[in-house]
């Protein structure tokens, strides 16, 4: 569960050797601790002519205590915590040159674990093909910057609709600038319309929220329970009875409650709904984190391996959603959050069952998000890449090393990185973020 190579590289002796031999050089990533400032240095703001977001972004960042600079006042030797560019003014490919003009001189100006954020308009909302084309082009730039800049830099494209909710833009910026998004890079995140409420304290963005976490006994689920509790949530930690001891330890640790339940049992949705109704009267956030693998190539896979994986990772989650929604236990402002996977995006050898289930989770987000818009319930998912867990620790060394290094950050992510991203999607302030599948993969090379 530890990346010994990265620890070595980050030691004094290791640094010298790695530089001399030209080995992969995974940087130590800046991660979030309560009370941390959003950035380790000032943010440089830029905007294309005609952009519409300079004003809200300036207001948001100033309120968040970020020191702001613009290209007029920045000196060549200045170093920044973030480069933030409002590209919403770009309506034609010939205007893309403004992005070059902003980023070219700053390519080496970012502090370690710096942030690149380009703000654009969703192409589907652009009135003219020329504008849609130029806005879609931004994705190629951002993904290339993510692969170029190095030293823990992450780069994202945030697509903001014309009538987007300012609180949700703030929520996205606070997440993406902070150490919470340490292992999220090369992503396109859409911020749209939907009710969102800012927290009284941005260090406790989940204050008072009742959050259900399935598969909470270990790995990503346990990390998630801890992150959610740290951020103010009342956590209902659920796992199978066989994991009861580990589950109780997690629940005790965070002052949450534990529920032992096999989610694939026919009566599980009803029992779960009854429990939530009687104990909390509602569940604000449902995180379907429980998942299993049963790897075999399709020719060698028995039917049980297929059925179990589809049922745990997909079908049982659909049954639970349906019952919780039907009984109106997820109130307006609620969240459904799934866990997909790079395998669900790209497919994977030996994982036909797993990849099918995880591609289905993407389908669930795509279809349920618009269906629940009227009820003001958002639906999103994360798609982890290589994360350091007991599951990945069992992968043979050579394959594991390839998986760890084949991303822009040259290292695996931690369960906490996935947890922080799910946590952000759960914030009441993120209400206008719906229908997104956010990869937590360090911008893995793998994809489709």
- The neighbour count for residue 196, using CB atoms within 10 Å, is 24
The region of 30-38, 74-82, 144-152, 388-396 touching a second copy under the rule CB under 8 A is: 144-152
Decide: is 104 part of the binding site for a second copy (CB under 8 A): yes
Tell the smallest beta-carbon distance from residue 187 to a second copy (Å): 9
Decide: is 144 part of the binding site for a second copy (CB under 8 A): yes
| Residue 374 in tokens | 């009227």
411 near 3, Cβ under 8 Å?
A: yes
Tell the smallest beta-carbon distance from residue 350 to a second copy (Å): 7
Q: Mark 417-446 with x for binding to a second copy (rule: CB under 8 A) and - for no binding.
A: ----------------------------xx
Decide: is 100 part of the binding site for a second copy (CB under 8 A): yes
Decide: is 154 part of the binding site for a second copy (CB under 8 A): no
The region of 33-41, 198-206, 242-250, 294-302 touching a second copy under the rule CB under 8 A is: 294-302
The region of 4-12, 35-43, 54-62, 314-322 touching a second copy under the rule CB under 8 A is: 314-322
Decide: is 314 part of the binding site for a second copy (CB under 8 A): yes
What is the Cα–Cα distance from 357 to 374, expressed in whole angstroms?
27
Decide: is 111 part of the binding site for a second copy (CB under 8 A): no
Binders of a second copy in range 56-85 (CB under 8 A): none
Tell the smallest beta-carbon distance from residue 316 to a second copy (Å): 10
Query: Of 265, 213, 277, whose CA–CA distance to 239 is shortest?
Result: 213
Q: End-to-end CA distance of the chain, in Å?
A: 28
The b-or-e profile of 29-47 (16+ CB within 10 A means b, else e) is: bbbbeeeeebbbbbbbbbb
Find the helix or strand (DSSP H, E) in which 370 lies.
helix 352-371
For a second copy (CB under 8 A), the number of binding residues is: 77
Decide: is 93 part of the binding site for a second copy (CB under 8 A): yes
Alpha-carbon dihedral angle through residues 401, 406, 407, 409, given to the nearest 10 degrees:
40
Decide: is 356 part of the binding site for a second copy (CB under 8 A): yes
Binders of a second copy in range 255-274 (CB under 8 A): none
Select 146 or 199, whichever has its Cβ closest to a second copy: 146
Select 119 or 368, whichever has its Cβ closest to a second copy: 368
The region of 9-17, 25-33, 124-132, 385-393 touching a second copy under the rule CB under 8 A is: 124-132
Decide: is 162 part of the binding site for a second copy (CB under 8 A): no
List strands edge to edge, sheet with 187-191.
68-70, 43-47, 80-86, 110-120, 154-160, 187-191
Tell the smallest beta-carbon distance from residue 64 to a second copy (Å): 27
Tell the smallest beta-carbon distance from residue 377 to a second copy (Å): 12
Binders of a second copy in range 172-231 (CB under 8 A): 186
Strand 285-288 to strand 257-260: parallel, antiparallel, or no bridges (unpaired)? Answer: unpaired
Decide: is 133 part of the binding site for a second copy (CB under 8 A): yes
Task: Pick the binder of a second copy from 303, 394, 396, 398 (CB under 8 A).
Answer: 303
Task: Pick the binder of a second copy from 360, 384, 385, 423 (CB under 8 A).
Answer: 360
Task: Pick the binder of a second copy from 47, 247, 364, 418 (CB under 8 A).
Answer: 364
- C-alpha pair distances (Å), 397 with each of 42, 98, 342, 350, 394: 40, 45, 20, 17, 9
157 near 118, Cβ under 8 Å?
A: yes
Query: Of 156, 203, 382, whose CA–CA distance to 291 is shortest?
Result: 382
User: Is the sign of the CA dihedral 275, 289, 244, 231 positive or negative?
Assistant: negative
Decide: is 98 part of the binding site for a second copy (CB under 8 A): no
Tell the smallest beta-carbon distance from residue 137 to a second copy (Å): 3
Select 134 or 222, whichever has its Cβ closest to a second copy: 134
Task: Pick the binder of a second copy from 107, 200, 265, 393 (CB under 8 A).
Answer: 107
| Residue 122 in tokens | 């969703």
Catalytic sites, residue numbers: 354
According to DSSP, the residues that pair with 213 across neighbouring strands are 237, 287
Question: DSSP class of residue 338?
Answer: E
Find the helix or strand (DSSP H, E) in which 251 lies.
helix 244-254
| Number of Cα atoms under 13 Å in the Cβ half of residue 18 | 16
Tell the smallest beta-carbon distance from residue 132 to a second copy (Å): 4
Q: Mark 315-354 with x for binding to a second copy (rule: CB under 8 A) and - for no binding.
A: x--x------------------------xxxxxxxxxxxx
Find the helix or strand (DSSP H, E) in which 120 lies.
strand 110-120
């Amino acid at each position: 569960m530890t990346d010994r190579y990265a620890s070595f590289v980050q030691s004094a002796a290791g640094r010298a050797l790695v530089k001399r031999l030209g080995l992969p050089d995974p940087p130590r990533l800046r991660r979030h601790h309560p009370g941390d400032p959003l950035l380790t240095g000032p943010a440089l703001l830029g905007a294309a002519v005609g952009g519409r977001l300079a004003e809200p972004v300036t207001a948001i960042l100033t309120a968040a205590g970020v020191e702001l600079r613009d290209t007029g006042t920045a000196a060549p030797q200045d170093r920044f915590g973030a480069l933030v560019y409002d590209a919403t003014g770009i309506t034609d490919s010939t205007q893309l040159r403004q992005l070059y003009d902003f980023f070219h001189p700053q390519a080496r100006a970012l502090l370690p674990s710096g942030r690149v954020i380009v703000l654009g308009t969703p192409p589907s909302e652009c009135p003219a093909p020329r504008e849609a084309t130029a806005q879609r082009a931004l994705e190629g730039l951002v993904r290339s910057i993510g692969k170029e800049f190095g030293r823990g830099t992450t780069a994202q494209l945030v697509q903001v609709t014309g009538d987007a909710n300012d609180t949700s833009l703030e929520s996205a910026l606070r997440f993406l600038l902070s150490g919470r998004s340490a292992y999220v890079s090369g992503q396109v995140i859409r911020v749209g319309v939907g009710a969102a409420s800012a927290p009284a304290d941005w260090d406790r963005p989940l204050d008072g929220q009742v959050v259900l976490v399935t598969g909470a006994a270990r790995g990503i689920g346990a990390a998630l329970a801890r992150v959610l509790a740290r951020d103010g949530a009342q956590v209902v930690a659920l796992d199978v009875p066989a994991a009861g001891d580990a589950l109780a330890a997690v629940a005790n640790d965070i002052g949450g409650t534990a529920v032992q339940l096999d989610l694939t049992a026919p009566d599980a949705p009803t029992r779960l709904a009854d429990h939530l109704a009687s104990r909390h009267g509602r569940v604000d956030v449902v995180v379907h984190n429980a998942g299993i693998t049963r790897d075999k190539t399709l020719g060698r896979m028995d039917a049980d391996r297929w059925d179990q994986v589809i049922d745990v990772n997909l079908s049982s989650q659909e049954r639970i959603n349906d019952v919780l929604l039907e009984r109106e236990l997820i109130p307006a402002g609620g969240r459904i959050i799934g866990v997909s996977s790079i395998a669900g995006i790209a497919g994977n050898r030996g994982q036909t069952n797993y990849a099918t289930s995880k591609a289905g989770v993407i389908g669930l987000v795509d279809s349920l998000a618009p269906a629940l818009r009227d009820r003001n319930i958002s639906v999103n998912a994360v798609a982890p890449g290589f994360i350091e867990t007991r599951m990945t620790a069992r992968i043979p060394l050579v394959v594991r090393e390839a998986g760890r290094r084949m991303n822009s950050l040259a290292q695996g992510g931690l369960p906490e990185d996935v947890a922080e991203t799910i946590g952000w999607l759960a914030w009441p302030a993120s209400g206008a973020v719906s229908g997104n599948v956010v990869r937590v993969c360090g911008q893995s090379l793998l994809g489709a």
